[in-house]
Amino acid sequence: MKQIGVQGMAGAKNKARANCQMCHLVIPRKLIGYPVNARMNHKIGGSKTYRINLGLDRCVKRARATQEFIMSVYEKIREMSDRLSRDTPRRISSRIALYSSGVVAKIKNAEYALSKIRELSSQSDNVTTSTEQDFFISEKMQFYVDSFFAFLYSAFDIISHVINQKYRMGLNEKEVSFDKVKRNLNSNPQGNNIQILFDKASKKKYFKNLDKFRNCSTHRREIYIKTTTETATPGYSTSGNIPIVRRVLCDDPLSLNPKTKQNRELVDYCTDMLDKVKSEISRMSLRI
């Protein structure tokens, strides 16, 4: 196993405590032993490595956590693509690069859709402009909401193509999807990281909701959004009533009689959903 560590600060052994330069763990002086060239170590003193009783596994885990925090989701996806392409046949590496860029594109598409949702969220169909309006605000909003959920879920389908190539599953590329790759991983349980991540992701509440919203917008109908408009009394500097528009996402988009009891404010809910998907894709990218 390759020794892990980087150049640390000189004279660390003589200090009350030091930081592992790999995982930033604070190491008390009493835990620092003699110089050793072994696997179970932390790098802390100049060019020397000192054995301590915490072990390399913890060091690697903390280093990975630090890496996850610092890197953006796009950097993690590109790092995944570069890593998986090394020592791989060109036919496979080119597909991995293609699908990795596809994951990046879908998340960015979802970000753009969300930016338009934010832009339109405070506007109503009563808004007038100096130019002819081809579409109502509500119609534009519906388009971007449907697109948002479709793009987000698509990121999981496309990263599944990367899994198909990486593990040589042999699935027809026209048939690859998150569900099909998950079933394939579960039918050949090996306890690998990506199998566990796919299984856990599919059971999370946010993922189940994402699947419902995407299913509704793609295969059924427009996602129900409850829109209410109230008026507020302006201050002294303005005249007339100020409209306040509020949009709430339905609880279950697949219901024939959708409700809004959960009070899912549209912009906040979509923002939270995007953050969760980014975190999930990040974890997958680092562990494939």
Residues 35-92 pLDDT 10s: 333 333 444 444 444 444 444 445 555 555 555 556 789 999 999 999 999 888 999 9
Q: How far apart are the first and last CA of the chain?
A: 20
pLDDT confidence of residue 10: 37
More confident residue, 87 or 161: 161
Say yes or no to pLDDT of 203 above 70: yes
pLDDT in tens, 147-156: 999 999 999 9
**pLDDT, tens digit, for every residue of 252-286?**
999 989 999 999 999 999 999 999 999 999 999 98
Residue 190, φ and ψ in degrees, nearest 5? -125, -5
* 29 pLDDT higher than 50: no
Question: What global pTM score does this model have?
Answer: 0.72
Residue 96 has pLDDT above 50, yes or no: yes
DSSP label at residue 31: G
pLDDT of residue 244: 82
Q: Does 102 or 72 have the greater pLDDT score?
A: 102
CA torsion 156→162→165→171, rounded to 10°? 20
Domain boundaries, the chain: 12-70, 73-221+267-287
The backbone region for 19, taken as left when phi is positive above 0, alpha when psi lies in -120 to 50, beta otherwise, is: beta
Instruction: Work out whether the CA dihedral 182, 187, 193, 196 comes out positive or negative.
Output: positive
Residues 250 and 95: their CA atoms lie apart, in Å, by 38
Contact 192, 133 (CB under 8 A): no
Q: Predicted confidence band at 124 (pLDDT cuts at 50, 70, 90)? A: confident
Query: How would DSSP label each residue in 121-151?
Result: TT--TT---SS--SS-HHHHHHHHHHHHHHH
In this structure, the number of other CB atoms found within 10 A of the CB of residue 182 comes to: 19
pLDDT band, residue 172 (cuts 50/70/90): very high
Residue 267 confidence (pLDDT) = 95
Q: Among 80-89, 97-106, 124-133, which is the least confidently predicted range?
A: 124-133
In contact, 85 and 97? CB cutoff 8 Å: yes
The dihedral of CA 21, 25, 28, 30: what is its sign? negative
- pLDDT > 50? residue 111: yes
- Interatomic CA distance for residues 221 and 250, integer angstroms: 13
- Count of other CB atoms within 10 angstroms of residue 114: 21
Per-residue pLDDT averaged across 8-12, rounded? 38
For the chain, the average pLDDT equals 78
Which pLDDT value is given to residue 78? Answer: 94
pLDDT of res. 146: 96
Per-residue model confidence as pLDDT tens digits over 224-243: 999 988 776 655 555 556 67
In the structure encoding, which two tokens stand for residue 196, read together? Answer: 């566990």
pLDDT at 110 > cutoff 60: yes
Contact 142, 225 (CB under 8 A): yes
Tell me the mean pLDDT in the region 110-137.
Answer: 82
